[in-house]
Structure 1
Amino acid sequence: MAALATAFLFPVQAFAYSNPFHLTDSWRWNNNDFYGEGDPYILKFNGTYYLYVSTVDHQSGIKVWSSPDLVNWAYRGLCATDPITKAAYAPEVFYHVDGNFYMYTSPGGGGHYVLKSDSPLGPFVPVTGNVGMGIDGSVFVDDNGQWTFYATGSNQIMAWPMNSPTSFGSAVSTGLSMNGWTEGPTVLKRNNKYFMTYTGNHVWSTAYRVDYAVSNNATHAFAPASGQNPVLLETEGHHVGLGHNSLVRGPDLDSDYMVYHSHAHEGNSVYPGRRMNLDRIVWNGDRMLVLGPTSSEQTNPELPLFADRFNRTTIGNQWINVGGGTWGIYNQELMWQDTIGNASWYRQVTANATEADYTAEFHTKQMKQDSGNTPVYGVVFSYQDESNYGTAVLNRSLNRLETDFVIGGVSQGWEYASLPSGFNYTKWHQIRVEKKDSSFSIFVDGMKKQTRNITGLAGGKIGYATSNVHADFGYVAFSNKVGGSSAWNTYKPVDGTIEAVHYMQGGEGTAYHDLSQGNTGGAYRNEHVDIRSSASEGKYVIGWNQPGEWLKYRVNVAETGYYDLSLRAATTFPNAQFRLWNGAEDLTGPVPVPSTGDWENWRLTSGKRIYLTAGHHELRLETVSGEYDLSSLTFSRADAVTSINDDFNDGNDNGWTRYEGDWSVVNGEYAGTGAGSFGKTVIGSSLWSDYSVEADIRRLTSTGDAGIVVRVNNPASGKAFVNNPDYLQGYYAHITAQGVHLGKMNYGYQALDFAAMSLPADSWHHLKVVTSGTHIKIYVNHGVSPVIDYTDTSMNPFTHGKVGLRVMNSNARFDNVKVNP
């Protein structure tokens, strides 16, 4: 009975994992230096996860690990041993409707081979020669069964439509490049849009990073997500070099995870090894948000509410037989039904039932069918009784999916969807049901084949069904989450940004207090909280927040300390205020939300410093006065600004970190050489927020520029394996002969503002930058009024970071650098 209990109902997750993962049997060089798990790819099949990674350069074979839950991994040996797998880079495995698994890998980065197996554990054997197409091949399967292959090509991502798992069409440019080496594409489809994640620059750079882009087409016209990239980046500390990700659905059937590697410094290898990492993805409309990168404890991926692997000898009382048939358990790994010869329906349904909205996942294959009648087999869902349920079955004779809904004993009509040619009904196939409100979406092997609007049928039991077929049934599960709703109750990492619409579940008085009846905006969630779609934000936001209303958010605070809290809000009210509570503790007191002038003009409030202890909390955001619409909450780890006064008269630049260019102290001045190139040097803490920084600057060359960088995050060398001047996040205030410029740097450069004036070379000029929240003022030559007064109203303003100096295509001297709170 204990075994049965663990097979069916799972408790709330109480354990935690932390990045990076430490797996057994990692790849190592012959001298035992660590190589690790680079380019991790995870396949989910029949309820089990399989991990594949790159092979160390001088050895052959491809390793595989398996896991039931994305956390506990067991090494399963080599799934391929052919000599062509020497230095097999980035192996990825995909299941075809013919019942075989196809692996794509580029040994040594010298072009791709396709390998094939009837098991995710192998053995995989080559079925093609070298088909070329760069490295880092990945496959996407569209709803119509069309396969597309993605890989690198001349510093960009290319796509190849496929005629079969081993046949590739002509290359199409996706339009995606990260201004240099670009690799590691992976694609998923959501709400009829195609999302691609991809990785930039060299694998051994600390600035290895992930961007994402969106398209209405699987092969071209991908547009990088404006204001949201990079979605994964960390260049300082012990958790750096993040990239080459894959995407995988979590055990709860609803959550998504980004799997990626980070640098691992072990042994004496010239380059670091790599370890696997896992961070949660959440969605808001067409926005993909990575809750990371994290290196502190995170709640384990949630399990489904119900699951069964049939790892026992009898069916047990958690299942209810409906209509007869002959049912049993085979080899403690599957359930079967083998009565055929008549048109009767035989159903086996769970004793447990779903809520009104849910996701259910099933696996089934056909063993034998009768020549008479209409042989079909598949699944039943929303089963309340013999007069109320839904059915989705596979028809081998007609090669199609068939669905019907019975309400009050009346069939709502059979509907059909064709399946791809070559569909092998004797092999395992997944049927997935997503129910939200009155909409039922039916997927087969990940392909959305039908969406039906059925009123009058809520949740219910799930199960398997046959008519005139002997079939086997594998892993089955359900979760009362659908369409990304698992994001609502997950503990979001702090520091980090939380979407306003991702307040926790629980209803009125528990998760929120709302004074209106119903959802005024009518969007996203069917509760009394008022949610609308914002055109300028490109996502869902909470509107009509009134005094006395509140919302609760679950957070996972990584470290005890001070955090700056900012709200991204829009309001026309002059007196709007909010307050944040942790239980009975008032963390903030009333905090003003300044008028933005329009309900679609969004601004980030200046940070309110609060003290949080490490661990899980449920924070309550209360509207105190006025009204405002809410887009998101951002928690930023904060520290007091330390004053700096460096005149370099001591002959050194202690405390500064040089990145590119030639920096030295000459005659009590800081010399930066970047003529024909670039360079930067930084100092301070990434936890600093509001400060002033000033310096005397003398450009020695008539061309180029020199200046001050503020709010510096994730600086990296733009000369390490690449040649890119923009490897930092922050703002660059700089002078040229024509005047003063303000630009924003985010692994690219965006000009923000300019003040024309004569600032000749080989003369000293005093530049001062004052930052406060999203507000930046720039003063020149000790003037009392700023020559540039700029507020960053974008979706990704930088509010914390170090300070630094920079030269671009020039040589310059700096002196009397001062930083003050």
Structure 2
Amino acid sequence: MKWKPLLLAAAALALLPSAAGAYSNPSSLPSSWHWANGDFYGEGDPYILKFNGVYYLYVSTVDDQTGVKVWSSTNLVDWTYRGLCATDPVTKGAYAPEVVYWNGQFYMYTSPAGNGHYVLSSPSPLGPFTVQTGNLGMGIDGHVFIDDDARWYFYSTGAERIDVRPMSSPVSFGAPVSAGFSMAGWTEGPTTFKRNGTYYMTYTGNHVWSTAYRVDYATGSSPTTGFVPAAGQNPVLIRTEGSNVGLGHNSMVKGPDLDSDYMVYHSHASQGNVTYPGRKMNLDRIAWNGGRMTVLGPTTAAQPNPAAPAFEDRFARTAIGSGWSNVGGGTWGIYNQELMWQDTIGTSVWHRQVTAASTEADYTAEFHAKQIKMGTSANPLYGSVFSYTDENNYGTAVLNRKLNRLETNFVVGGVSQGWQYSALPAGYDYTKWHQIRVEKRGAAFSIYVDGMKKQTRSVAGLGGGRIGYSTLDAHADFGYAAFSNDVQGSSVWNAYKPLPGTIEAVHYRKGGEGAGYHDLTAGNTGGAYRSDGVDIRSSAAEGKEVVGWNQPGEWLTYRVNVAETGLYDVTARLATTFPSVSFRIWDGATDLTGVVQAGGSGDWEKWINVAKKGLYLTAGYHELKIETVQGEFDFSSLTFERGQAPSALTDDFGDGNDNGWTRFEGSWSVAGGELAAAGSGFAKTVIGSSLWSDYSVEADIKLVGTTGDAGILTRVNNPSNGTVLANNPDYVQGYYAFIKPDGVYLGKMNYGWQQLAYAPMTIASGAWQKVKATVSGPVIRVYVGDMNAPKLTYTDNSPSAFLHGKAGLRSMQNETRFDNVKVSP
């Protein structure tokens, strides 16, 4: 039998995933695309469709070949090549093929070599897909979103923006409007989805062959216009250095557990050939906190495989078996080891099959059904049953072909709670597969049909229970069925979060009092997010949920997956009106930090970053515990980064070169013992390690020209050349302390620009100025001339503060000389 009973409590005590149950990025797939000359092309622009419990992967076609390849998987990790699903000549160099299922047909949208779009269709996700339209034009990277009201929208690349077109059918497109934002340059790869009433769009910027290819996201209240980029969070996915760079063109997919979300994206397969380096697929988990989306990555170390549901059944056998129980009769069977059927009609009795396995109180369940024949009664029905205890306690969501609608009812203690009805789209074909999804959280049941949210009902007195299928005067087939004991993203609580990385305070592990947490007060004081005894509230300043009212002796436990053994620095994000608070972090019985002291932030909505350096962690799975020692504080997150103090470094360029420095753009030269940057354009060069934490950088700087500025970079992360297939001076993350003729400035660069501080000062051109920047925890100080009294002092307590990174020099639209660079711990 292909069913799995609900894990019992004793089994749930196992903390560590199996070593065999791990994957790592990037993926290696069978039958990857290659150029005709044999060079690797790989899996660019990966898109994954889930249908009836199976995942189907589609990727861009290499430019000199025809056809679209497809792979299938049941777990998002082990992929089987299924051949070409399309072979029409228009698929030569088919870019970014995406496939949507609707009403028995699969529709493919692709742009051959970037020249317009075609729509193809097939009755199977494996094809063959045949062409349904001529060339429709429109920019590359087409994506379809279907809203809860069954309206369709098509997203594609516009003129440095994302265009949105309403669709009147799967092959008909309206006029474009702007989504409302741009990445200040080429913007592509949109993916749109809806969560808790908010529309989300992920999108990619820069050129695909740049190491700075990256993913941002925006939110809005409409599927068409007014999307606003997530302030302080973008880019949500980037890596420009190392073995896996150029990350972008993502799609989103639900994990096998029905609850988790994964971002699927590609990276450069090599760095040797910058013109066509090839691409490979990557997969990283999404963590949700309120409306805030975080990518738990990018990762390259081994990660636990996406979790399976607590129960699933693909009916890959010849008999129904003991995993199901018949209620109410009917004639049930298994067809072709792929589905379950019931064919008795002409009665007024509900026929049900329910599982032996039961859900917990909160859960997500998924069902697939199609009607073969209906009886002559007024309302022949077929569909799902859930929270089933007996015929006096259950919920049901069924489809009515005659009246073209979803119908739900709940029975509690033998009393019907009343039928409710939701219209389904005109022309719905009930003889084709349709999905019913149920999300139960507390008393609320949300019902989806084919991904469209149709009802939310509050039903008191009905907990978890068995799931199953039901018919009333209908002959129906039933496909993949599954449930998970997680809902609306709760699976992340028990997931092993990758370190380095950030852990949300509210994502402590399950297990309740004494396992996931210890809380001294009764109930959830803030009443937010989770229903256990931990006090949680919404923070307006943080834009998410936080753990509040932490008192001495209380603690929270988090599961983590450490990428490599070594020293880590941890930053806790806290708010408090107490003048002094303290905490400690444990790894099992090992005290990692000792007592960490922190001063007050001054307000419960004023957040500070409190760092502790030099924690020794071993690679693998751990459970970390943060304990409140003194005072009371609210707790937002923990961020772990690899850290080290730099060794002393000096360079006067007297040897006639700048060996050890990495130039990223601009015209640099070394002459006469000085490093020179030309006057036009922008230029940066960096040195050191991304692990560096607290240090100072000083340099002699001479503004030869007066048209721009020049200065020092600190805590540099993800630097990239802003002139490769782009023209952007801000392709770096870190802080920039610089001088101009009118004064001293400090700014923050995060693939964008934010000025932080300024002090007026006369800076003469042609004269050397000694400039120093020190970074210590969140505090940045900038000195010019006088090395004892800073001209600027700024504390970056934002959630996006940079606390580690390389050092560097930068010149912006100015002829500049640098000399006597010194980095000190």
Which of the residues 812, 816, 821 maps onto 1:817? 821
Runs of 4+ in 1 over 4 A off after TM superposition: 3-13, 266-270
The equivalent residue for 2:723 is 719
Q: Aligned pair 1:101/2:106, yes or no?
A: yes
Partner of residue 50, structure 2: 44
Q: Letter of the aligned partner of 2:107 in structure 1?
A: Y
Q: Counterpart of 1:176 in 2: which secondary structure?
A: coil
- Paired position in structure 2 for 1:588: 593
What's the counterpart of residue 66 of structure 2?
60
Distance (whole Å) between structure 2 residues aligned to residue 457 and residue 521 of structure 1:
25
- What TM-score do you get using the length of structure 1 for normalisation? 0.98
The aligned residue for residue 236 of structure 1 is: 241
Alignment correspondent of 1:29: 35
Instruction: Please give the secondary structure, in 2, of the residue aligned with 1:576.
Output: strand
CA distance, structure 2, for counterparts of residue 507 and residue 269 of structure 1: 52
The answer (yes or no) to whether the contact 1:569–1:593 under 8 Å persists in 2 is: no
CA distance in 1, matches of 2:699, 2:523: 56
d(CA) in 2 for partners of 1:571 and 1:374?
60
- Partner-residue secondary structure (3-state), 2:90: helix
1:194 aligns to what? 199
Q: CA offset at residue 132 of structure 1? A: 1.0
Alignment match, 2:759: 755
Give the Cα–Cα distance (whole angstroms) in 1 for the partners of residues 570 and 310 of structure 2: 34
Match of 2:712 among 708, 714, 719: 708
Q: How much has 1:99 moved relative to structure 2?
A: 1.3
Match of 1:676 in 2: 680
**Residue 706 of structure 2 aligns to which amino acid in structure 1?**
S
Q: How does 1:308-347 map to 2 (within 5 A)?
A: 308-347=313-352
**Structure 1 residue 191 displacement after superposition:** 0.6
1:454 matched to 2:459: yes
- Contact preservation (8 Å) 2:574, 2:635: yes
Give runs of aligned pairs for residues 726-737 of structure 1, distance below 5 A. Answer: 726-737=730-741
Amino acid at match of 1:586: D
Q: Does residue 122 of structure 1 match 2:124?
A: no
- Stretches of structure 1 that go unaligned for 5 or more consecutive residues are none
Q: Per-residue deviation at 1:370?
A: 1.2
d(CA) in 1 for partners of 2:483, 2:46: 27
**SS at 2:545's partner residue?**
strand
- State the Cα deviation string for residues 553-584 of structure 1 (Å, max 9, x = none): 00000010000011011011122000000111
Equivalent residue of 1:502, what SS?
Answer: coil
In the TM superposition, residue 606 of structure 1 has moved relative to its aligned partner by 2.7
**Distance of 2:3 and 2:90 partners within structure 1:** 46
Cα distance between partner residues in 1 of 2:535 and 2:274: 56
Residues 1:435 and 2:444 are matched in the alignment: no
Say whether 1:525 aligns with 2:530: yes
Q: Unpaired runs of 5+ in structure 2? A: none
Question: Partner of 2:180: helix, strand, or coil?
Answer: strand
Matches within 5 A, 1:276-425: 276-425=281-430
Partner of 1:152: 157
Amino acid at match of 2:73: S
Cα shift at 1:642: 1.4
Quickly say closer, same or farther: Cα 1:9–1:28, change in 2 above 3 A: farther
1:55 maps to a residue whose letter is T
The amino acid that maps onto 2:407 is E
Does the 8 A contact of 1:7 with 1:310 survive in 2?
A: no
Q: Which letter does structure 1 place at the counterpart of 2:40?
A: F
Cα shift readout 1:759-809 (whole Å, capped 9, x = no counterpart): 011110010101001100011113421110001122200000000000000
Q: Structure 1 vs Structure 2: percent identity of aligned residues?
A: 66
- Deviation per residue, 1:734-757 (Å, 9 max, x gap): 000000010100111111110001
Q: Read off the aligned partner of 1:787 and give its amino acid letter.
A: K
| CA pair 314-272 structure 1, distance change in 2 beyond 3 A | same
Q: Secondary structure at the match of 2:605?
A: coil
> CA-to-partner distance for each residue in 1:682-736, whole Å, 9 max, x for gaps?
0000000000000000011121000001000000000111111000000000000
Kindly report which structure 2 residues correspond to 1:466-477, keeping only aligned pairs within 5 A, or say none: 466-477=471-482
Tell me whether 1:631 sits opposite 2:636 in the alignment.
yes
Report the equivalent of 1:221: 226
Q: Which residue of 2 aligns with 1:179?
A: 184
Distance 1:150 1:208 in 2: 19
Distance of 1:270 and 1:260 partners within structure 2: 19
8 Å contact from structure 1 (residues 594, 605) kept in 2? no
**Aligned match of 2:565:** 560
Question: Partner amino acid for 1:697?
Answer: I
The answer to whether the 8 A contact 2:315-2:334 is kept is yes
The DSSP-based 3-state class of the residue aligned with 2:301 is: coil
Match of 1:33, as an amino acid? D
Return the alpha-carbon distance in structure 2 between the equivalents of residues 738 and 545 of structure 1.
Answer: 47
- Mapped to 1, the partners of 2:746 and 2:485 lie a distance apart of 49
8 Å contact kept, 2:6–2:359: no
Q: CA deviation at 1:412?
A: 0.6
Which of 775, 794, 799 is matched with 2:779 structurally? 775
In the alignment, structure 1 residue 87 sits paired with structure 2 residue 93: yes
Deviations 1:185-211 (A, max 9, x none): 001100100010000010000000000
The alpha carbon displacement at 1:608 in A equals 2.9
2:291 partner letter: D
Which letter does structure 1 place at the counterpart of 2:354? V
Aligned to 1:745: 749
Aligned counterpart, 2:659? 654
Partner secondary structure for residue 510 of structure 1: coil
Aligned partners of 1:563 and 1:4: how far apart in 2? 43
The answer to whether the aligner puts 1:694 opposite 2:709 as a matched pair is: no
One-letter code of the match for 1:416? Y
Task: Report the 3-state secondary structure (helix = DSSP H, G, I; strand = E; otherwise coil) of the residue aligned with 1:28.
Answer: coil
Amino acid corresponding to residue 359 of structure 1 in structure 2: T
Structure 1 contact 4–316 (Cα < 8 Å) conserved: no
TM-aligned CA deviation for residue 9 of structure 1: 7.4
Residue from 639, 663, 670 that aligns with 1:665 = 670
- Return the match for 2:796 from 783, 792, 797: 792
Which sits farther off after the overlay, 488-497 or 168-177?
168-177
Task: Say whether the 8 Å CA contact 1:9–1:307 is kept in structure 2.
Answer: no
1:209 paired to 2:192: no
Contact 1:33–1:269, Cα closer than 8 Å, also in 2: no
2:25 matches 1:19 = yes
What CA distance in whole angstroms lies between the structure 1 residues aligned with 2:182 and 2:474? 51
Q: Distance in 2 between matches of 1:252 and 1:722?
A: 40
Q: SS of the residue aligned with 1:389? A: strand
Determine if contact 1:342/1:373 at 8 Å carries over to the other structure. no
Amino acid at match of 2:211: T
| In structure 2, distance between residues paired with 1:343 and 1:374 | 10
Provide, for residues 491-531 of structure 1, a one-character-per-residue CA deviation record: whole Å limited to 9, x for no partner: 00000110000000000001100000000000000011000
Deviation per CA, 1:174-230: give whole Å up to 9, x if none. Answer: 012111111000011001000100000100000000000000111110000000000
Whether the aligned pair in 1 keeps the contact of 2:772 and 2:787 (CA below 8 Å) is no
Residue 591 (structure 1) shift: 0.2
State how far apart, in whole Å, the 2-side matches of 1:478 and 1:38 are.
32
Matched residues in 2 for 1:487 and 1:268: separation? 38
| Partner SS for 1:797 | coil
